[in-house]
Amino acid sequence: MATYRIAPSILSADFARLGEEVRHVIDAGADWIHFDVMDNHYVPNLTFGPMVCQALRKHSVKADGTRVPIDVHLMVQPVDALATAFAKSGADIVTFHPDASTHVDRTLQLIKAEGIQAGLVFNPATPVDVLEWVIDKVDVVLLMSVNPGFGGQSFIDSTLRKAEQVRKIIDASGRDIRLEVDGGIKVDNIRRVADAGADTFVAGSAIFGQPDYKAVIDAMRAQLAG
Ligand code: DX5
Ligand code: ZN
């Protein structure tokens, strides 16, 4: 059985208390911290940069001393300078949209050269063909199940078919690649997303929109175990 990971998106956290929110959601059982970087160019919204990532890194430690990976989702164009900057600012994983990069293979190499994990993100209407050519350099495939830019949108069902397609590609590669899905994931649909082949689940509003983060994460895990 897959080892499932739940990655709360701090896009829906209280930005005035980010460090506290990260610690709180880690105590509630977060496996990764999903960090949405928006540039008001590739997407119509603006969030935070490498300095905020650096400041949060010291908050990404569990009570037992182990660190929770910071999963940086770049919704920016151009990509390369920021990908490197985030790698140097405490990111453990950097994913980017191939349609935002002029040279996808080069961007992947830049990230890997920093000694961290690299991934590609596909929008709901973007085909995944490029994976065929760079699968050996990819550690994460992130499928958007909403159009990027905002939290709190509804899950787009065609993502399930795309997840099935990518699951086959990953399995055929024989590589250890995470299949992450991002957007509109809730307790009541996470099981369907897992059944389509995903093993890592981003959830923003579903977790931060409730007072008890642990109750939501526990309910998601119960769905995944069922
Ligand atoms: C959207 C972001 C998502 C978003 C998910 O552009 O990439 O990570 O925060 O939020 P929810 O779970 O509320 O759809
Ligand atoms: Zn995201």
User: Mean pLDDT for each 10-residue chunk of the chain (226 residues)?
Assistant: 92 98 98 98 98 98 95 98 98 98 98 98 98 98 98 98 98 98 98 98 98 98 93
Residue 197 labelled as part of a binding site:
no
Can you tell me which atom of ligand 1 is nearest the CA of 43?
Answer: 6
- Going from N- to C-terminal start, the domains of the chain cover 5-225
Category of 66 on φ-ψ map: left (φ > 0), alpha (ψ -120 to 50) or beta: beta
- Is the entire prediction scored with pTM above 0.95? yes
Q: Report CA(78)–ligand 2 centroid distance (Å).
A: 17
CA distance 19 to 166: 34
Residues 175, 177, 178: CA angle, nearest 5 degrees? 160
User: What are φ and ψ of residue 165, in 5° steps?
Assistant: -65, -45
Residue 212 labelled as part of a binding site:
no
Nearest to 149 by CA among 12, 44, 33: 44
Any catalytic annotation for residue 171? no
Q: Report CA(141)–ligand 2 centroid distance (Å).
A: 12
- Topology of the domain comprising 5-225: TIM Barrel (3.20.20)
Any catalytic annotation for residue 36? yes
Q: Report CA(203)–ligand 1 centroid distance (Å).
A: 7
H or E element in which residue 142 lies: strand 140-144
pLDDT at 1: 58
119: β partners:
95, 140
User: What is the ipTM for the molecules in this complex?
Assistant: 0.98
Can you tell me which atom of ligand 1 is nearest the CA of 152?
Answer: 13
What proportions of the chain, in percent to the nearest 5, are helix, strand and coil?
A: 40, 20, 40
